[in-house]
Structure 1
């Protein structure tokens, strides 16, 4: 990637704008057939594809069905949850406020949220709006996600308050670790500055001006829309992602407290509008000088802020390994075959999205599926990239499928040691609390222990003895990842604390059980925070 000094960037942009418009390159001739083929091979119920070339929408179409076993077809207006690709939309909302001079990217968060605190007082004083967006705060990967995964009864304001109890994993601004919770704070900043909820502000100042007719960040509006894709996942194969495709409860996909990090739902037609605006650096498709956000804001969004670690992919996907990888404001910035690629993936329970921009070719595309079969998204992403970069056709979907299968085969299930628990079952019962998550309760029902994550609706399960003082939590709702729960005893033989971790070695990082540290709570104590 070339690097220009700030003084040369305006000149470079002026030169780029003077280049004649590029000729349109047709989408792959076999695109419809290829999408249908990989959907059938991988068992994806429904999909939406949008492609924009040189300022024109050349493809916006739905495929398959909204719900497994149903007949209602996906079309270009069917809305899909788009997960973390929502982050760039939250950034766009902030950009509007920056353009209006109501905030600056480098304002301190506490100047707009005076009560906001991180675990470290110095980080609290220094954390900026930019820091909220680029995953360099020092928090660990996915830290705090259990405040909204799979759902929550917590408000956004209360969830933001609890961040002061999340211990950092590294020093401030020393490296990259993806998080969602600080985008939740970004949403709170928008609310504090604008006087509107994040949902209302992004509707009024992003979606409506952009002409995104059916896109919504409001849960009530989403479920009131008949033309929506239902979520699906593979649940009965021992590990999530393996087994038969099942329809999930769409109302249990994400806590709304974290919607600024991943709570938008959109369609192929609306994603095409979003791609047009992105490629036009904030200008609206209708022209006439109308903009969603400024050219200056557009440059900020795509400017790398923090390096991301690079691991060499093994065969058969080794060629997908980038030479550089960085995070900008709500976007990944990487290279592929010598060109800069701006992209971001998104996933909520039962749905996934990929948004890709090739600025040097003035091309962008988005892919949505209503399942968790990410090999389809990653594979079609590289197949489309190869098409637009004049590379030979290749079965990238098949290659990514082989990679995933090999990864799963390497993960051998652990075997417990034959042993018995130290205490009778009643000795493990009680109320416990973690500083950032809050309270849980364990009680004995006959010859079993039952666990209740009290601030996560319907997250109850049974503790099955594993070995020594470790149990496995089998949740009543099978969509929740099973977890090991280890009790540590004090010198008097009473529970001193509890640690947890996901059973599956390929569990999504948002199941951050490993960040929990439960300690006994005194009888009659309320909440879980000191």
Structure 2
């Protein structure tokens, strides 16, 4: 629609219709060109303006090597964008008077414990959602990354052993584990699992007809995307794009932090509810306007990471976390948004409340530069800003980030000290236990040392000597981030403990090897 046509409509009907109040006219061509240039298998976009869906479609394929196309009904794994839906599920319970945002968690889950008894007494339902508990970035994620044997309740019970890294409510540090607690709390209060409550009280009533909260339901839907990643290069993100095993997903115990799958049509329905402050298209509330306001209210201030000069216009001056949403400014406007990522899929959900506009971008690969480029391109379109060249700038940033990771890896691995190990390899073998993760077993075989993370299915492989008393993992599954494994010895050469850290400087924070404090289990080999 041309600007002249829009002006004519405004004169006829007495309503000012901004020239930007529809998707970019060439968006289909631009997305497809970018997808092909970058080598992304598939992408799906939903846009909602003034309560109407103005775009819901897909580009590319659901799975490399197959011809089935992505469309508006193709479901994608949407990662942490689901945190807002867990918050909405809790909001429904607040409206029903079954819980309050500032109720202590132990009021509804008396058996729940944090590391500190005082925090156990004080931590509220609100605290579970706003990343101010004192836990470190991604602390405890190895309980469901990359997979797990643990149930959700077992996982929540182990939170008691996560030693905080800062004092309670003193600073921001993003976590997933307390959203697992929120999911368990829903079950304790309602008698329904998080999966069932999400399906019956949020997804279906909200008009999200394709969306799933359970893996087995997702696997039964033919129109679903496969996850993809680049694993054949020197680090994750480089090499050839390849389809991953879709059943090798993150543990379902952590699903309340990001275990939903939605289509573009579903995202459009969700955006309409959000922009209508909880109201469904028929006018009935999914949750009240009061709870809608509560969920967008900033709670925890977030640090602002400086961006390079080329990206400076994207750097906010204020950034905070609300209940499952991030609140910040962009070019003088309030933006409500959240990103999401699981292995092989990434998502971004964005709203500009004053413009009554929202959009979601979903990809079945890990091309973050493309995702961010499209995000800011759409933001500038709806804020009537000139083209900033965001798709190229964010892709350049992504390439530079990967190049920096490779350079760090080269320098770190250039010249290991040709010293050690101090012991015969068999003497490092044993069962080692971390209070929150569980057992890691190091075994001596004729082929050398092996390592097995027993709480995680198939997280096993060989240990190769690195330097001194440090080894590096060579996991059987190439999708698992390698880690340095360092043994501590006493004066008699006895192993007293094991610490770990990721090899890659840019590894996802959920590989929280550094939070492990493994001690020998006496008499266990």
Which bin holds the TM-score, normalised by the shorter protein? over 0.9
Corresponding residue number in structure 2 for 1:451: 451
SS of corresponding position for 1:313? coil
Contact 2:369 2:397 survives alignment (8 Å)? no
SS of corresponding position for 1:449? strand
What's the offset of the Cα at 1:422? 0.5
What's the offset of the Cα at 1:316? 1.6
Matched, 1:178 2:178: no
Q: Distance in 1 between matches of 2:513 and 2:302?
A: 24
Q: Distance in 1 between matches of 2:308 and 2:400?
A: 10
Q: Distance in 2 between matches of 1:514 and 1:21?
A: 56
Name structure 2 gaps, 5 residues minimum: 1-14
**1:490-515 CA deviation, whole Å, 9 max, x = no partner?**
12101110000000000000000000
**1:149-199 CA deviation, whole Å, 9 max, x = no partner?**
000010000000000100101000001000000000000111011111111
Matched, 1:188 2:194: no
What's the offset of the Cα at 1:409? 3.0
Corresponding residue number in structure 1 for 2:333: 339
Contact 2:75 2:261 survives alignment (8 Å)? yes
Contact 1:383 1:396 survives alignment (8 Å)? yes
**1:124-164 CA deviation, whole Å, 9 max, x = no partner?**
00000000000000000000000000000100000000001
Equivalences for 1:270-349 in 2 at 5 Å?
Answer: 270-287=266-283, 290-349=284-343
SS of corresponding position for 2:361? strand
Equivalences for 1:369-388 in 2 at 5 Å?
Answer: 369-388=363-382
Q: Distance in 2 between matches of 1:424 and 1:22?
A: 77
Q: Distance in 2 between matches of 1:163 and 1:22?
A: 52
Corresponding residue number in structure 2 for 1:408: 402
**1:108-135 CA deviation, whole Å, 9 max, x = no partner?**
0000110100001100000000000000
Name structure 1 gaps, 5 residues minimum: 1-19, 526-530
What's the offset of the Cα at 1:524? 5.6
Q: Distance in 2 between matches of 1:119 and 1:249?
A: 36
Q: Distance in 1 between matches of 2:219 and 2:149?
A: 18
1:360 to 354, 362, 365: 354
**1:83-130 CA deviation, whole Å, 9 max, x = no partner?**
000000000100000000000000000001101000011000000000
Say which is worse superposed, 417-426 or 475-484, in terms of deviation: 417-426
Corresponding residue number in structure 2 for 1:8: none
Corresponding residue number in structure 1 for 2:5: none
Q: Distance in 1 between matches of 2:394 and 2:497?
A: 41
Contact 2:369 2:396 survives alignment (8 Å)? no
SS of corresponding position for 1:107? coil
SS of corresponding position for 1:316? helix
**1:251-271 CA deviation, whole Å, 9 max, x = no partner?**
112100010001000000010
1:226 to 216, 222, 246: 222
SS of corresponding position for 1:442? strand
Corresponding residue number in structure 1 for 2:11: none
Corresponding residue number in structure 2 for 1:69: 65
Q: Distance in 1 between matches of 2:340 and 2:398?
A: 18
What's the offset of the Cα at 1:394? 2.9
What's the offset of the Cα at 1:355? 0.1
Q: Distance in 2 between matches of 1:418 and 1:401?
A: 39
Corresponding residue number in structure 1 for 2:109: 113
**1:45-64 CA deviation, whole Å, 9 max, x = no partner?**
01110000011000000110
Contact 1:316 1:402 survives alignment (8 Å)? no
Q: Distance in 2 between matches of 1:21 and 1:387?
A: 17
Q: Distance in 1 between matches of 2:478 and 2:312?
A: 34
**1:329-386 CA deviation, whole Å, 9 max, x = no partner?**
0000001000000000000000000000000000000000000111111110000000
Corresponding residue number in structure 1 for 2:3: none
Corresponding residue number in structure 2 for 1:210: 206
Contact 1:21 1:54 survives alignment (8 Å)? no
SS of corresponding position for 1:250? coil
Q: TM-score, normalised by structure 2?
A: 0.94
Matched, 1:389 2:365: no
Corresponding residue number in structure 1 for 2:154: 158
SS of corresponding position for 2:33? helix
What's the offset of the Cα at 1:489? 0.5
Contact 2:187 2:194 survives alignment (8 Å)? yes
Matched, 1:197 2:193: yes
Contact 1:22 1:54 survives alignment (8 Å)? no
Q: Distance in 2 between matches of 1:149 and 1:112?
A: 27
For this pair of structures, how many residues does the alignment match?
504
Q: TM-score, normalised by structure 1?
A: 0.94
Matched, 1:97 2:93: yes
